[in-house]
Structure 1
Amino acid sequence: MVGGNNFGGEVPRVDKLHNLYFLRMDNNQFGSTDKPGDDLSFVSSLTNATNLTHLYLQNNAFEGTFHEFFSNLSNDLAFVDLSNNQLSGHIPVEIRKFVNLEELRLSGNQLTGIIPPTIGKLYKLRYLLLSQNRVSGIIPSSFANLSLLSELSLDHNNLRGRIPSSVAKCQSLLYLYLNQNNLIGSIPKEMCLLSSLVVLSLSSNNLTGALPKELNNLKNLVSLEVSLNSLTGEIPSTLGSCVTIVNLTMKRNLFHGLIPFTFNSLRSLQVLDLSHNKLSGTVPKYLEGFDLHLLNLSFNDFEGALPERGIFENVSLVSLDGNPKICGGVLGLKLPSCNFSRSKNHNFKLVILVILGIWGLVVMVGSLLFYRFGKTKRPFPSLDKDLNPLLFMSYQSILKVTNGFSVSNLIGVGSHGYVYKGSLETDGKHVAIKVLNLLQHGAMKSFIAECEALRNVRHRNLVKLLTTCSGVDYGGNDFKALVYEFMDNGSLEDWLHPDNSRENVQPRRLGLLQRLSIAVDVASAIHYLHNDCQIPIVHCDLKPSNVLLDNELVAHVGDFGLARFLHLTNKTTCRIQTSSTTFKGSIGYTAPEYGMGSEPSTHGDVYSFGIVLLEMLTGKRPTDDMFGGDLSLHDFFRNAMPDGALEIVDPILNLEEEEISRESSRIPSFIRRQKMVEGLISLFGVGVSCSMYDSYKRKNIKEVVRELCYIRDSLVSCT
């Protein structure tokens, strides 16, 4: 590894490094030799490096023909970054042979030609970055096969044709950049099914038609850019449901009509650019309460009095040129005054304003008195005595340690907010910070439930809550956050279905004993919540994404946003704390009786655990496409037991089973194999019995822990 230096010149050949698997020479000045186009001749010597998986040459000055040298590299390549060089040529059809590719970054080069349809064979691909090249042709429909794709960057190229609706099948997609191309047609409404999307950039194309009304499905959208197209129609009011949006740029289109009143919900907005359209009506007064950094409404047909507070007081942040019917506003905007035809009318309005001012003063004083004397009576959890007294985090400190809630610090998106990685200023310790989206329905209840559930629980297999933050942001809006210990190995979901694995890390696999240990950890945590807490707790949302793994792969159950406390007199019947008895868990993991109106119970947690255990053994989610109608994950296992059980096990476990059977041991291999099979079948039985449809037929969690520990001890003794 020689990355991040100031090396330059020609790179020597590496013919003898046959066992090389990691080559990093990024951020240097290699290239520009005396033989133009021959800078990458050393790469041809990597042909014999059949174990090469990581190749990082980005940010250099390498010249060469991409397809000539790339096709001869190792089929095991998983991570390739050649961005910001001077590579020419095209993407070869033979790219399909690199079936282990997870990241392919080629941005900032001079590549030409088309994107070959064979790229759809790279089923493990998570990042494909081809921006700032000269790639042409259409966007292949075969992208639909890339179900693990997280980022697709095709911007600043010469792509043409329509956006294929099949891109909606990339259900893991977070970032989609198609801007600065020659795309035509309308925006496919199917794209709005990508509920995971954080950034959607379609600017500077030739798109036509209206914005899809289905945009409200993009609940996690942070940035939407559709500027410099020929889009028409009114701005759909459904866009107001995208309450997480920060950047909304729609300039230089043909939109008409009013700014939807539903935009009042977009309180996270920082940039709003609607310039050069045909919008009309008055400028919404609710924009005064937004924490905008830029507001561009120029060259439209707005009219009437302009608001005077908030961002409208900062002339440098507001652009209103080309709207001759707007009047009023602060003096710095130099707009004509709004004349009233009758002085009586003016005096009447003045009286009204005085009355409203007095009334506002009364309300404010009353609020202050209520806050001063009544806040101790609010049913809100006080955690100061339970959490770390030396750790205090304000909105300002959280903003700082997350780099301004940077996308690069974002490690998770939940139903009620976002999870960021941060480092404490005191000791540099990593923490996970869950920032609640209080505009999302149920977010405040989730915050209170999690505080109450975690205030008095202490167990090695529960995520530790370090502190909380309850205050206001710089815009005066309520701000709530929870700060947890950081789990280095992410969630169980990341390991079972590695669509969001960390960068520059080899593919991670969990063996049978590791999965069994995790199952014991989770079952132990649930047993503690049900039986050993002062007030028994039902988790209500147990699933792989809520099981976090530390650096030793010890499992910790987290996310208590739906947790409920039980009656002390009956630990299987739940008393709902909130005013609403409506319960919503996660599809596939929620006990079937909940769908018929039953209250949450310990039986429901056992069902969720059973489904998680079966998922760990088969590698299939309960929501997999193969399950539907009369077939469920539970039935899938139950029908296969016992003779066909091994046929439906996760193939990774079968491979490990064969490897273990070849290990040197005093116990004969056939006995070890028999013990492994018996252990697997016993685990199937536990999973199936926990996920029975009839709640009274499910195992007790205490019995589950005992059985899992027995199975684990048996397998450890034989391996």
Structure 2
Amino acid sequence: MASLTWAVLNSETDKIALLGLKDKLTNGDPHALPSWNHSLHFCQWEGVTCSRHMRVSALQLQNQYWGDILAPSLGNLTFLKEINLTSINLHGEIPREVGHLKRLQILDLRQNNLHGEIPMEMINCSSLEVIILQQNNVTGKVPSWFGSMIQLTHLRLGANHFVGSIPPSLGNLSSLEFLSLVYNHLEGSITPSLGRISNVKFLYFGVNNFSGQVPPSLYNLSNIQDLSLAENQLVDTLHSNLPMVFPNLQFLRCGGNRFTGTFPSSISNLSQLQLFEIAGNDFHGPIPPTLGSLHKLEFFNVAHNRFGSRRADDLDFLSSLQNCTQLQIVGIDNNYLGGILTDLIGNLSSNLVWLSMGSNQISGRIPDGIGKLINLTTLGMEGNSLEGTIPYSIGKLKNLVWLTLGGNNLFGNIPRVIGNLTMLSEVALDSNKFEGVIPFTLGNCTKMERFYANNNNLSGNIPIQTFGYQQGLIELSLHSNSFTGPIPSDLGNLNHLSSLNLQENKQTSEIPIGLSACTALTELTLGRNSFHRNIPSFLGSLLSLEILDLSKNNFSSTIPQELVNLTLLSSLNLSFNHLSGEVPVGGVFNNVTAISLTGNKDLCGGIPQLNFVPCPVSPLQKKHKRSIRKRVILSVAFGGVLITFVTFISIYLLKKKAKKLSITSLALHYGYVKVSYGELHQATNGFSSSNLVGTGNFGTVYRGTLVQFERPVAVKVLNLQTRGASKSFVAECKALGKIKHKNLVNILTCCSSVDYKGNDFKAIVFELMSNGSLETLLHNNTEDSESTNLCLNLIQRPSNVLLDDDIVAHLGDFGLARLVHSSSNQASSSAIKGTIGYIPPEYGAGSSVSIEGDMYSYGILLLEMITGKKPTDSMFGEGVSLHMFGNMAILERITEIVDSRLLIPWSIDKQERRVTRQQNMEECVASFARIGVACSQEIPNQRMSIKDVITELHAIKQKLSC
């Protein structure tokens, strides 16, 4: 009875341990391991095996994606003999508690994300026979105490991050059959002690940093079946009699080292040999013609050596390979093999999938017999001396994925049968003598990723609907031919295109806008053609560009400012065109070693290191700026009053009779001229940054010219990704269509359409206010600046007050539109988007919109014009406001607060600054200040009325006109 109780208690211990393990393995996911619940005995849980004592003896869970850690509770399953937790995305370290599992025989944790070092406590697991930790991120040195685990038969530590050398103690593992240390960072020599593990059959040391010679003791391991020494820095030769020392050898990998010597003819006696790979060494001499005895040979790769002597008999070994009927891979490229390629190539194994013989000195024609190798996926014959045409039999290779024939003397047309090879991914026909056109049948190869036909004699147009079907195309190189005509617009379908090289052809027309969709482009090379018109601004949106070459064409006009946005651009060549105007500053244009602009004689400006002449400045620019400063105060002052009054009355009337109108019928309802996306795109030079006027929360404004209107326009493009932008568009269109006043910016039309990429597009077209905003004049201009920018800016307050040619003020930002279409019957401050500093204080307390509130905003604006200070200036705060600032100095100290530029009556001649009528001017400024203070009183009913403001302004106007 006591023993039964003890068994039950131990059984419960295993259950608790398993539940703790589940919680950590699955990160508490309730849907994972559903069978691990209290309704089933744990011995029936998925992946759990129990012994006859009802104790957990094996834990086997594979191919899940839980992605958590091994809990320490694993160590409580003391009857475990096997742990197999492969490919379940384990993280963390191997828990030290594994050392409690003294019965453990198999530990298989391959294909996870474990890190850290192997815990030393594992030395207690003296029954271990199999340790498999490959394909993790385990670090540290290979533990020397592994040498005490004399039961080990498999030690597989490949594909981790082990460092250091092979511990000599591993030579004690006399039972070891499988040792894998591949794909680590091990170094030093291969320890000779491994010559004692006489039972080993699989020995993998590849892809490390081992150096020195292969220790002679390794040739004592006569049971070796698979030996991998590849990709190290070993210096040695192949043993002269490998069949004697390794009679059971099936796989030999020695590539990527520094082996020397000749090809040992004794290899032909390795009757079990399936794989022979010695590529990337320094072997030389002939390849023996006795390889036909290797009847099991599947893989033969001797590439990148010095085999051959450029003589006619160098290819004789191919005849013997005809007997290797299991052959799948033949790699003989990058050697010194000469001779003529004959039709016997077609007699090689029908199982052949890879035939690579490029970069030799093979001559002759490509034999018709090549069409017999119907299972080929790779055919590489590049860099030889082959001549003649491509045989039509190549069209039978319908499994072909890679075809490389570049760098030969092939001629004639590219055969249409190439379109039969629908599996093609990469085709290299470059540097030959092909002529004619690209066959339209190439469009059938819809899996194409790379196509190279550069440096040939190809001509005609690049066919439409050929490359456009290859939507996975990454590289297209057609340079150095005689192609004519335009770039096919359907190249815009190539979303993955990274490199497009059409340099040195005879192509004309302009760069198609379709290329704007090729956002993955890193290299665009169109030099030495006859492309003309403007360099399109959309190139500035290809943010992945690293190389852009448009040299030696006929491009004209200016360099698009948008190219500054290409932050990854390391090489820009615009030389030898007909470009003019100012060179942009910023981005790649600040790196003189990365750009070439020579041969464009009409360029100017740019950074000084480019040595271009300065760009000319308009002589009227500064004169015009100075003449308007006095006029702006009166214009905005009077216009502002009218705007305030008319806006509020209009809002009141419109709220009573507003009707819902769809955007599609809006233009027709108000008699607007309809415009399309294409017309707006052309009007703004592709929404070029050189046409940019301003940017705000809901959109971006561009200057443009539409044929439907006599004067320039402002195009406000809505950013539809911004919350509320669409509603803002509807509100502005409706409100501005209904409210008409000479001091409101007129809406000319609107556009609701889709852009060239199929995305929704909405824009409003206004009349352009040529003298920009009041904000610009007050805060952005200096008295003597020669380069003052009087551009329109619809966003920065009080930048909604815009100035036309005659310095008449217009209101140009329409938060009032939201008020017009408020859902409530009474205007509510909660529905208004005001601007900090201009909103009257009572709105913050929930008061309704009122004329008194508008008068407050007007007063603040007037004080801002007088003082040159924004209401949000850093000097205000701690109880001091713009209103108080003006009130404190409204009489005797007016000259201390006023913007000094207002007190200087400029003449037409910039050298003459008369100070006559100074006292009269100061009195007028003081009067303006009094009006501003009176309108911005804190209590609404104490503010100056519109009627009194107009009376005062008329009096000031009379005084100024004296």
Q: TM-score under structure 1 normalisation?
A: 0.48
Higher relative contact order (CA 8 A, sep 6+): 1
Q: TM-score under structure 2 normalisation?
A: 0.36
Larger-gyration structure (1/2): 2
